């Protein structure tokens, strides 16, 4: 395949500095100086129409006068002059640019106009660019310092992306003191073109970038970012600090002080689903950056604390408690060994207090004993300056003791000038250092959180016993009837009707316009009942004036009707045709829960679950996630609430049916997925009585949506439009459908039915064993990037997987790779050609421009099929492979 477009940005062979200057410390001079000092091995072309030579390099009046190709243009001229310069760059084949110039939409309408011109000129020229208002970029591995930053940067394995130029300079100064290097250092500027998602996508494929650190102030193109982050976070840690915690409005304009409306809550859910670890402060970001740049991340959550002072140890324990963790238990064997090396007054336990007179040898013996047994996932080693403890000698001894060990070590050297030499020794040895025990513990837990995120992301959901039955057609009919030009509050009866179409259990509810109708409805439902005013506009009324409970006969129903409607007409005379709903009065519940959905203008639907009832906004025990949900994700959502332990039976009350609750959440998720018109949905309370759930109150606001389903989501849902029924040549019925995460057992069984030759033809190698980690790569697909189309046997035969066609798309849809495999029992029955045809159709639907694949030269049947379907076939660079491709 051809060179990645962004390689011209990060690995250029030639750079033009447009706006180069001979005036020292000007942006144009600084850029040119930094390129020279950074050791850039390629050609550098200063561009300035008024000067013939700058810093010993010949200058050119324009890029069109440069005698050679230009991969990267670094632009530092007035922003209004940039559009024509970009067009000139396009004329001579410049591929990428970094725009240092400031201005744009932040300065008003004129800036808006210029920014639009820059975008149009770059698109016309085929140039991808960083900025405007970028500080530049640094790639130490290739000697590229195309930045205004003054500091030198040495190669490392951290990629840093910042939306703040000022923070970039601070980070570089900090990194120099900590002996931390970078693979890439990027100031994104305005993100008008290249944004966080583009950069994450690129860095995910760059070996030197082993961890990605992001300072983010705002996010654009949320779905694109989610897709990129979900793809890369599985292989590399992504740590984000998101500045600015504030409230935001729902799409319906409603602004409520509740747990779901917070923009920050949305970001929390967003980062969790993307597999990103979020930190709260610049200090935590620096600490994570240092640690990721030096040591392996902890794979478990058990931590040992070694200290020469009780106070700092308690601080570390308190920090762990904030993460709902405790120090790991010391095994009896470790305790015995420690007793042999520590003073007799030592008290066994973790933290391991080795006392204030601890010598370097005592530190070393303790660390050796703990590391030897491998019972912990990391060590926090604390030194507080004491009269008999030498911080520098302890540091040097620890470096020798821990050399060639891969157990994560977090060193806390507390104090001022007296500990500085020891800190320097630790930093030079690649051991991360911290000023406080809390910082060390927080960093350990943040890194462990990433490991835990990976485990959760890679879990295989259980399959539902039966397919989720919903009546989408009926729900659509109801919603179409309810929709109005402005947001509309549905009546509770309308809301419950829509919930019922998706199988969500609700209490019996009947509308009544008169006392006589109310009595008749009560008799039909069965006493006791409750009456509620049937007017969604009156939700703000107190419960006392809106609902009357526990009505046991006709007379009570009649009096309740008269009281509710009469009092309401007095308070709100504009409502003349008030009625009520008569509802089944459920028994006193064991739990009252909350399920809600809010449509966010950037994140799409946000789903919430937690403690409900009248105090929902006081307890604020609400966990939030993004659709689509499966049963596993629904379960994880419930587990993040404080009430979950009680629901699971860890209280005096009967346990809830957690499977039913998870299914209800999946059904609400599906409703939000299918209907972008749902701007607001609230089930509060959801009663749990003897384990079973019933929605007894529901609110729903609907409005027209500019985006069709499922484009309103930021996570691509299961693409059911690609499901097709078909028959093999022998008449066996087959369902062709996209793969789901819960299909892992089917895939495992399928691969066992493939001969070694079939496996070799597909994967170009022999595979002795298929691990869980390998199988989830097949089943857990981001449908915005990858579709595995499986063929599944249907009744009257067994449900068995027969073959799969896979499509892996580039983020920009410029190309997609495909492959097909059919298990031996079903080869020669037409399934292979059918899968290829369906993959082509999906690629066309996804607007892929070029479809390609690699085929072994001895796989003649596949090569013949490719030629028959119109693929061009040519020898690849590897003589054992043929490259096939088709322009779509």
The CATH number of the domain where 353 resides is what? 3.40.50.261
Total domains in the fold of the chain: 4
Section 567-578 average pLDDT: 76
Lowest mean pLDDT, pick from 1-15, 203-217, 238-252, 316-330: 238-252
Of residues 475, 481, 495, the one with CA closest to residue 701: 495
Q: Which band of pLDDT confidence, cut at 50, 70 and 90, is reported for residue 245? A: low
Residues 126 and 258 in one domain: no
Say what the alpha-carbon torsion angle 444, 211, 246, 443 is, to the nearest 10 degrees.
Answer: 10
Cα-based distances in Å from 130 to 83, 188, 192, 243, 324:
14, 6, 8, 21, 42
CB 121 within 8 A of CB 86: yes
Burial class (CB in 10 A: 0-12, 13-18, 19+), 414: buried
Task: Give the pLDDT band of residue 356 (cuts 50, 70, 90).
Answer: confident
Question: What pLDDT does residue 822 have?
Answer: 97
- Among 457, 479, 511, where does a domain finish? 457
277 with 232, same domain: the answer is: yes
Instruction: Take residue 252 and report the two structure tokens written for it.
Output: 């319906």
d(CA 722, CA 738): 7
Q: What is the pLDDT of residue 542?
A: 59
Phi–psi pair at 196, nearest 5 degrees: -55, -40
Residue 824 near residue 753 (C-beta atoms within 8 A): yes
Quote the CA–CA distance of 418 and 386 in Å, as a whole number.
10
Degrees to nearest 5, angle at CA 521 with 515 and 524: 145
Which residue in the block uniquely carries the two structure tokens 């895939």? 747
Q: Whole domain around residue 31: which residue ranges?
A: 1-134
Question: Is residue 53 located within the same domain as residue 153?
Answer: no
Q: What is the pTM of this model?
A: 0.87
| pLDDT of 192 strictly over 60 | yes
Q: Is the pLDDT of residue 462 over 90?
A: no
Q: In what order do the strands lie in the sheet with 724-727?
A: 724-727, 733-738, 786-793, 801-809, 816-822, 850-856, 881-887, 872-875
Give the Cβ contact number of residue 485 at 10 Å. 7
Band of residue 567 on the pLDDT scale cut at 50, 70, 90: confident
- Residues 414 and 339 placed together within one structural domain of the fold: yes
Q: What digits encode the pLDDT tens for the residues 366-376?
A: 999 999 878 89
Q: For residues 76-81, give the mean pLDDT.
A: 94
Residue 796: cis peptide before it, omega within 30 degrees of 0:
yes
Q: Which residue has the tokens 């499966």?
A: 630
Judge whether 637 and 623 are in contact, CB under 8 Å.
Answer: yes
Tokens of 500: 């019922």
Contacts of 30 (CB under 8 A, 6+ apart): 148, 150
> For residue 401, what pLDDT is reported?
92
Of 294, 326, 353, the last residue of a domain is: 294
CB-CB neighbours of 344 under 10 Å = 5
How many other CB atoms are found less than 10 A from the CB of residue 796?
7
- The CA dihedral of 74, 78, 80, 83, to the nearest 10 degrees, is -20
- Residue 831 contacts residue 839 (beta carbons within 8 Å): no
* Residue 453 and residue 323 in one domain: yes
List, for residues 728-765, the tens digit of each pLDDT value: 999 999 999 999 999 999 999 999 999 999 999 999 99
Whether residues 789 and 856 fall in one domain: yes
| pLDDT at 576 (0 to 100) | 62
pLDDT score at 252: 45
Same structural domain for residues 116 and 5?
yes
**Are 761 and 852 part of one and the same domain?**
yes
Listed in sequence order, the residues at least 6 apart from 56 whose beta carbon sits closer than 8 Å to its beta carbon are none
Grouping H, G, I as helix, E, B as strand and the rest as coil, residue 472 is helix
Residues 838 and 783 in one domain: yes
Section 824-829 average pLDDT = 96
The predicted-structure confidence for 641-672, as pLDDT tens digits, reads as follows 999 999 999 988 999 999 999 999 999 999 99
The pLDDT, as a whole number, for residue 248 is 44
CA–CA distance, 660 with 104 (Å, rounded to integer): 53
Q: Under 8 Å CB-to-CB from 576, ≥6 apart: which residues?
A: 569
The CATH number of the domain holding residue 59 is 3.40.50.720
Which position has the token pair 């820059």?
118
Q: pLDDT averaged over the chain?
A: 91
Neighbours of 703 (CB within 10 A): 19
Same domain, 216 and 128: no
Q: Across 137-141, 243-247, 266-270, which has the greatest mean pLDDT?
A: 137-141
- Looking at 82, 100, 134, the residue that finishes a domain is 134
- The pairing of strands 786-793 and 801-809 is antiparallel
- Measured in degrees and rounded to the nearest 5, phi and psi for residue 804 equal -150, 140
Q: Confirm whether 31 is domain-assigned.
A: yes
pLDDT tens-digit map of 252-272: 444 344 445 678 888 999 999
Whether 73 and 127 share a structural domain: yes
Q: ω before 710 within 30° of 0 (cis)? A: yes
Average pLDDT (31-40) is 94
Percent composition of the chain: helix, strand, coil (DSSP 3-state, to 5): 40, 25, 40
Render pLDDT for 140-158 as a digit per residue (tens, 0 to 9).
999 999 999 988 899 999 9
C-alpha–C-alpha distance, residues 593 and 322, integer Å: 26
CATH number at residue 795: 3.40.630.30
Q: Name the H helices within 696-771.
A: 744-752, 756-763
399 Cβ contact list (under 8 Å, min separation 6) = 425, 426, 429, 431
Find out whether 384 and 411 touch, Cβ atoms under 8 Å. no
Task: Establish if 437 belongs to a structural domain.
Answer: yes
Q: How many other CB atoms are there within 10 angstroms of residue 462's CB atom?
A: 14
Helix axes 165-178, 282-294, angle to 10 degrees: 50
CB distance 523 to 713 below 8 Å: no
Mean pLDDT value across residues 551-555? 96
What integer is the mean pLDDT of 56-78?
95
Q: Is residue 745 part of a domain?
A: yes
Residue 119 lies in a domain: yes
Residue 650 domain-assigned (yes or no): no
* Predicted pLDDT of residue 451: 82
* Residue 507 belongs to some domain of the structure: no
User: What CA–CA distance (Å, rounded) separates 621 from 611?
Assistant: 6
Q: Is residue 540's pLDDT more than 60?
A: no
- Looking up tokens 């972008």, which residue turns up? 676
668 within a domain of the structure (yes/no): no
Residue 400 DSSP SS3: helix
Cα separation, 357 vs 209, in Å, equals: 43
592, β-bridge pairs: 687
Residue 755 lies in a domain: yes
Query: What pLDDT sits at residue 614?
Result: 87
Ramachandran assignment for 535, one of left (phi > 0), alpha (psi -120 to 50 degrees), beta (any other):
beta
- Of 642, 578, 657, nearest to 612 (Cα)? 642
Can you tell me the distance from the alpha carbon of 803 to that of 781, in angstroms, rounded to the nearest whole number? 17
The answer to whether the beta carbons of residues 391 and 419 sit under 8 Å apart is yes
Do 267 and 321 lie in one domain? The reply is no
């Amino acid at each position: 395949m051809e060179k990645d477009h962004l390689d011209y940005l990060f690995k250029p062979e030639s750079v033009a500095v447009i706006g180069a200057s001979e005036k020292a410390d000007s942006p144009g001079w600084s850029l040119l100086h930094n390129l020279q000092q950074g050791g850039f091995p390629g050609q550098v072309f200063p561009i300035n129409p008024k000067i013939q030579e700058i810093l010993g390099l010949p200058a050119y009046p324009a890029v069109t006068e440069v005698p050679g190709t230009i991969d990267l243009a670094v632009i530092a001229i007035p922003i209004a002059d940039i559009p024509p310069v970009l067009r000139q760059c396009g004329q001579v084949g410049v591929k990428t640019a970094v725009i240092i110039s400031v201005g744009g939409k932040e300065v008003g309408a004129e800036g808006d106009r210029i920014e639009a011109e820059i975008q149009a000129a770059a698109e016309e020229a085929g140039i991808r660019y960083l900025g405007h208002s970028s500080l530049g970029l640094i790639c130490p591995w290739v000697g590229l310092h195309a930045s205004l930053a003054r500091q030198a940067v040495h190669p490392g394995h951290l990629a840093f992306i910042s939306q703040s130029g000022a923070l970039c300079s601070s980070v570089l100064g900090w990194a120099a003191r900590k002996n931390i290097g970078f693979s890439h250092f990027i100031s994104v500027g305005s993100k008008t073109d290249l944004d966080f998602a583009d950069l994450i996508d690129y860095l995910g494929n760059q070996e030197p970038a082993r961890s990605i650190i992001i300072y983010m102030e705002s996010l654009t193109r949320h779905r694109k970012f989610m897709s990129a982050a979900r793809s890369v976070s599985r292989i590399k840690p992504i740590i984000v600090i998101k500045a600015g915690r504030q409230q935001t409005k729902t799409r319906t304009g409603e602004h409520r002080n509740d747990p779901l409306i917070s923009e920050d809550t949305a970001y929390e859910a967003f980062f969790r689903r993307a597999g990103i670890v979020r930190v709260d402060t610049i200090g935590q970001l620096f600490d994570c950056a240092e640690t990721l740049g030096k040591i392996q991340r902890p794979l478990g959550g058990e931590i040992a604390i070694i200290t020469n002072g009780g106070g700092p140890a308690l601080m570390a324990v308190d920090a762990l408690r904030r993460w709902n963790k405790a120090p790991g238990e010391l095994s009896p064997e470790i305790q015995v060994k420690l007793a042999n090396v520590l003073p007799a007054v030592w008290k066994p336990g973790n933290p391991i207090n080795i006392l204030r007179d601890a010598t370097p040898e005592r530190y070393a013996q303790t660390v050796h004993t703990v590391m030897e047994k491998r019972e912990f996932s990391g060590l926090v080693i604390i030194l507080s300056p004491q009269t008999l403890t030498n911080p520098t000698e302890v540091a040097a001894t620890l470096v020798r003791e821990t050399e060639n060990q891969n157990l994560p070590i977090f060193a806390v050297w507390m104090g001022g000038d007296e500990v500085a030499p020891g800190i320097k020794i630790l930093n030079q040895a690649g051991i991360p250092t911290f000023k406080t025990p809390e910082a060390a513990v927080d960093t350990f837990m943040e890194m462990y959180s990433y490991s835990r995120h990976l485990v959760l992301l890679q879990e295989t959901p259980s399959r539902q016993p039966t397919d989720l039955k919903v009546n989408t057609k009926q729900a659509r009919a109801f919603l179409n009837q309810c929709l109005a030009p402005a947001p509309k509050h549905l009546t509770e009866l309308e809301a419950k009707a829509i919930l019922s179409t998706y199988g969500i259990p609700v209490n019996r509810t009947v509308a009544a316009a008169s006392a006589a109708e109310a009595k008749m409805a009560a008799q039909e439902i069965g006493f006791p009942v409750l009456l509620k005013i049937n007017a969604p506009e009156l939700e703000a009324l107190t419960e006392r004036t809106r609902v009357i409970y526990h009505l046991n006969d006709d007379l009570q129903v009649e009096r309740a009707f008269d009281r509710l409607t009469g009092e309401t007409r007095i308070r709100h005379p504009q409502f003349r045709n008030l009625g009520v709903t008569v509802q089944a009065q459920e028994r006193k519940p064991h739990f009252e829960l909350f399920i809600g959905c809010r449509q966010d203008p950037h994140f799409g639907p946000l789903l919430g679950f937690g403690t409900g009832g009248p105090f929902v906004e006081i307890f604020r025990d609400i966990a939030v996630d993004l659709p689509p949900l499966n049963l596993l994700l629904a379960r994880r959502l419930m587990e993040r609430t404080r009430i979950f332990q009680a629901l699971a039976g860890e209280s005096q009350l009967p346990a809830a049916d957690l499977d039913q609750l998870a299914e209800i959440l999946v059904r609400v998720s599906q409703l939000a997925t299918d209907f972008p018109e749902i701007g607001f949905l609230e089930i509060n309370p959801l009663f749990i009585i003897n384990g079973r759930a019933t929605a007894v109150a529901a609110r729903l606001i609907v409005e027209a949506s500019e985006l069709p389903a499922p484009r309103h989501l930021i996570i691509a849902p299961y693409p059911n439009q690609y499901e097709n029924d078909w028959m093999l040549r022998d008449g066996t019925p087959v369902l062709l459908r996209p793969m789901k995460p819960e299909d892992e057992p089917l895939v495992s069984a399928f691969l066992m039915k493939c001969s070694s030759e079939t496996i070799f033809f597909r994967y170009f190698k022999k595979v002795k064993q298929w691990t869980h980690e390998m199988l989830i790569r097949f089943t857990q697909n981001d449908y915005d990037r990858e579709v595995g189309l499986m063929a599944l046997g249907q009744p009257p035969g067994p449900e068995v997987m027969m073959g799969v066609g896979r499509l892996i798309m580039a983020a920009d849809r410029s190309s997609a790779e495909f492959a097909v495999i059919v298990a031996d029992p079903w080869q020669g029955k037409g399934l292979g050609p059918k899968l290829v045809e369906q993959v082509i159709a999906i690629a066309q639907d996804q607007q892929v421009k070029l479809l390609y694949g690699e085929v072994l030269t001895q796989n003649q049947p596949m090569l013949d099929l490719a030629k028959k379907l119109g693929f061009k076939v040519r020898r690849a660079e590897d003589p054992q492979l043929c490259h096939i491709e088709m322009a779509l």
